[in-house]
Amino acid sequence: MPVTKPTSPVKASTQTFIEIEDIKDDVLLLKDFSAAIVIEVGAVNFWLLSSEEQTSTIYAYASLINSLSFPVQILILSKKMDISSYLEYLDAKMKQKKEDLMRTRLAQYKDFIKSVVKKNTVLEKKFYFVVPFSPLEMGVSGIGSGMKKEYVISRAKTALYPKRDHLLRLLAKIGLRATVMQKQELTELFYNLYNPSATGRMLAPVESYTDVIMTSI
């Protein structure tokens, strides 16, 4: 009688544990049919401001938060800064300079930057406002397992876009540069969150990727 070798169970793919269902334009759709829009906000060097400017900035930010009539999530991410592109920029500038003195100064400055980064951990901070959409906003009768993604995304856009535009206006009033993250930026953001590395990784255009089908052997 032939002996049947035991087979290991097929393990679930990583996608099973990720809550993201799809990204359409600037809308992030989750598996529970909730959705969100992510707004990246620029930073202000608070310690370079005068005491009056600091106080004004604090009050303006507090006024912004208190004026919101909908919930938001504020996310701060820190990662080690990648200065390779800046060093390449300095190399290009050195090649353009004809004066030996300028090339020497740029070379010294480049060595200084490299030594600072080597001795100290230079962090890059990213700030995000997340505006959520709950499936309960579609009404109890609108929630069901048979809902299509296109319908949920359409309803989410209807609810989220006025909130997005209102928040962008408030951020512009207090002098903060805000950008709504699109599919490419959102994909790179979550890829680097789930695949952490020292400096992060930029992806090719997401439309150029093909789906991977997992099969058991």
Q: Residue 131 in contact with residue 137, Cβ under 8 Å? A: no
Average pLDDT over residues 113-130: 80
Separation of alpha carbons 68 and 61, rounded Å: 11
pLDDT by residue (tens digit) across 14-63?
Answer: 666 778 888 898 999 998 889 999 999 988 877 778 888 889 888 988 99
User: 106 pLDDT exceeds 90?
Assistant: no
Residue spans of the domains in the chain: they are 17-78+124-207, 82-121
Average pLDDT over residues 141-145: 57
Q: Within 10 A of 38 (CB to CB), how many other CB atoms are there?
A: 22
User: 7 pLDDT exceeds 60?
Assistant: no
How confident is residue 8, by pLDDT bands cut at 50, 70 and 90? Answer: very low
3-state SS of 132-177? EECHHHHCHHHCCCCCCHHHHHHHHHHHHHHHHHHHHHHHHHCCCC
Mean pLDDT (the chain, rounded):
81
Tell me the CA distances in angstroms from 178 to 79, 101, 129, one per residue in order: 20, 41, 9
Report pLDDT for 46: 79
Q: What percent of the chain has pLDDT over 90?
A: 24
Report pLDDT for 215: 46
Report pLDDT for 48: 79
Q: Which residue has the tokens 């353009």?
A: 96
pLDDT by residue (tens digit) across 166-214?
Answer: 999 999 988 888 999 999 999 888 888 888 776 667 777 877 776 554 4
